[in-house]
Amino acid sequence: MPASRASVNALGKLLSAAAEPFYVVAADRRIVFLNDACTSWLGTEANELVGQQCQYSTAAEGPAASALAAALCPPPEAFAGRRTTAQVVLPGTSPGGAWEIEFVPLKASDGAWLVLALVHSGGAAVDEEAGTSATRLHARLQQYRRKLALRYHVDRLLGDSPDMQRARAQAKLAAGSSASVSIVGPPGSHREHLARAIHYGGSGAAGPLVPLASALLDADLLQAALRSLARGKSGEQRPATLLLGDIDALPEAAQTDLSRSLSGGRFAARIISTSRSPLGELAVRGVFRADLACLLSTISIELPSLGARLADLPLLVQWYVEQANLRTGKQVGGCLPEVHDRLAGHAWTNDLQELEEVIDEAHLHAQGPLIGLQDLPPRLALAAQASTRPAKSDEKIVLEEYLAKVEHELIVRALKRAKGNKTKAARLLGMTRPRLYRRLVQLGLDT
């Protein structure tokens, strides 16, 4: 028998008056209820969040209500019927620290799961022992979003390794400066993305960004680009930036022209360059102009390879999982611990770009709330199997033994053609009969 309107209203008032903050998320991940204690905790009105659909992703941007809804999103495990406790770090000016929330799945009459979220305690640092490995990584990502500027591309600088901490400090310095910047890193490490983040991450309005592939530039093309930047657009007051990708491939004549333009003070635009190796090292090896290396490396940022910072791998994997959640609408909570182990043993020849592609494929094939080994692309399993096989040792070739085998074969063939006549066989082989006899004895063919 359906409840009367009066009893429903009475229940609503009782729930709203509860002292402990809680909220309810429907099966379609829309927030459908927040009690008064919850809106007071969040510092917002219920009507700003009710109806908001939440994605399990720290990559969510847009209105403040959307970002807050994303932070409150229950883990996908809860929508699979698993009771889960996790820590949540709220964005922006919301209460700081990590808050412990218990997500209680409730099965509706139609078989779908809605989730009751009970806020227990908070304001402390993220507890590395609380929740599952996936929910802990999610909370750490939320911390990064809170600490780093939202317009900064956090995935390019994600990680706690000393190399990445230094890279973040250098990138922050570069974003607030107009000095030339050299970004060094392996292919696939998103050097160009970081260059764009630095250009657009300054305090003022960013001017035009002109990307050029250094390998395709000769002296004439470079001069044309420099003249175009010098003229600028009519009335353009914002400084331009020339992004020279893979500048270690810049032809020698173009290096000379660029050095001359920068040394003469005739070039007002900023230059950000990318390369695989530090320009100073290239200059020492004699493959890059030393004066140009100095001019382009006022600020130098070195991005370590993924293989050199495997401790950052779980956080990067979680980031790419949550980006896929946001992009596709399919919600995955993260990866099982054994997946992290498999990924740590892979040789990432194309660095972050390859990792992102692998996680996108695994996210697509995931059947449960967490990515398992069976969801990873088959090429990773094949690579793991190949790495466990011992390397095949090079077989030594002893010339004398090899020549003896060849001679043995030729003599046998000659005797066969001569039907056992040794004189005729010697003639076929181009040797004297006595010499053939000696070789027959030495090779054990004299029987």
- For residue 296, give the 3-state DSSP assignment: helix
Assess whether 19 and 134 both reside in one domain: yes
Assess whether 324 and 284 both reside in one domain: no
Q: Is residue 97 domain-resident?
A: yes
User: For every one of its 447 residues, what pLDDT tens digit does the chain have, with 9 covering 90 and above?
Assistant: 455 555 545 556 777 778 899 999 999 999 999 999 999 999 889 999 999 999 999 865 667 888 889 999 999 999 999 999 998 988 865 566 788 999 999 998 888 899 999 998 776 666 666 667 888 899 888 887 777 644 455 556 888 889 998 998 899 899 888 899 999 999 999 999 999 989 887 766 678 888 999 999 888 888 888 777 766 554 455 678 899 999 999 999 999 989 988 887 667 788 999 999 999 999 999 999 999 999 999 999 999 999 999 999 999 999 999 999 999 999 999 999 999 999 999 999 999 999 999 999 999 999 999 999 999 999 988 877 766 656 566 667 777 777 788 888 888 888 888 888 888 888 888 888 888 888 888 877 776
Assess whether 69 and 186 both reside in one domain: no
Q: Is residue 37 domain-resident?
A: yes
> Which of 358, 387, 416 is the endpoint of a domain?
387
Identify the pLDDT of residue 1: 47
Assess whether 186 and 313 both reside in one domain: no
Q: Is residue 2 domain-resident?
A: no
Assess whether 352 and 276 both reside in one domain: no
The long-range contacts involving 109-113, CB below 8 angstroms and separated by at least 24 positions, are: 112/27, 113/27, 113/78, 113/79, 113/80, 113/81
Assess whether 73 and 139 both reside in one domain: yes
Distance separating alpha carbons of residues 251 and 272, to the nearest angstrom: 17
Assess whether 347 and 432 both reside in one domain: no
> Which of 147, 176, 202 is the endpoint of a domain?
147
| CATH number of the domain within which 352 lies | 1.10.8.60
Identify the pLDDT of residue 130: 63
Q: Which domain holds residue 286?
A: 162-303
Identify the pLDDT of residue 63: 73
> Which of 303, 331, 351 is the endpoint of a domain?
303
The per-residue DSSP string of 158-215 comes to ---SHHHHHHHHHHHHHHT--S-EEEE--TTS-HHHHHHHHHHTSSS----EEEEEGG
Q: Is residue 249 domain-resident?
A: yes
First to last CA, the chain: 108
Distance separating alpha carbons of residues 194 and 211, to the nearest angstrom: 13
Assess whether 96 and 174 both reside in one domain: no
What's the number of domains the chain is made of? 4
Distance separating alpha carbons of residues 240 and 236, to the nearest angstrom: 9
| CATH number of the domain within which 435 lies | 1.10.10
Identify the pLDDT of residue 54: 92
Q: Is residue 447 domain-resident?
A: no
Q: Is residue 278 domain-resident?
A: yes
| CATH number of the domain within which 93 lies | 3.30.450.20
Global pTM? 0.78
Distance separating alpha carbons of residues 206 and 201, to the nearest angstrom: 8
Asked if 148 and 122 touch (Cβ cutoff 8 Å), the reply is no
Identify the pLDDT of residue 227: 78
Q: Is residue 178 domain-resident?
A: yes
Distance separating alpha carbons of residues 275 and 277, to the nearest angstrom: 6
Q: Is residue 99 domain-resident?
A: yes
Assess whether 311 and 296 both reside in one domain: no
Assess whether 271 and 227 both reside in one domain: yes
Amino acid at 323: Q
The per-residue DSSP string of 68-130 comes to HHHHHPPPHHHHTT--EEEEEE--TTS--SEEEEEEEEEE-TTS-EEEEEEEEEEEEPPPTTS
The long-range contacts involving 196-203, CB below 8 angstroms and separated by at least 24 positions, are: 196/153, 196/243, 197/152, 197/153, 197/156, 197/171, 198/171, 198/174, 198/272, 199/241, 199/243, 199/272, 200/151, 201/149, 201/151, 201/152, 201/171, 201/175, 202/175, 202/176, 203/176
Assess whether 215 and 282 both reside in one domain: yes
Assess whether 121 and 211 both reside in one domain: no
Asked if 325 and 331 touch (Cβ cutoff 8 Å), the reply is yes
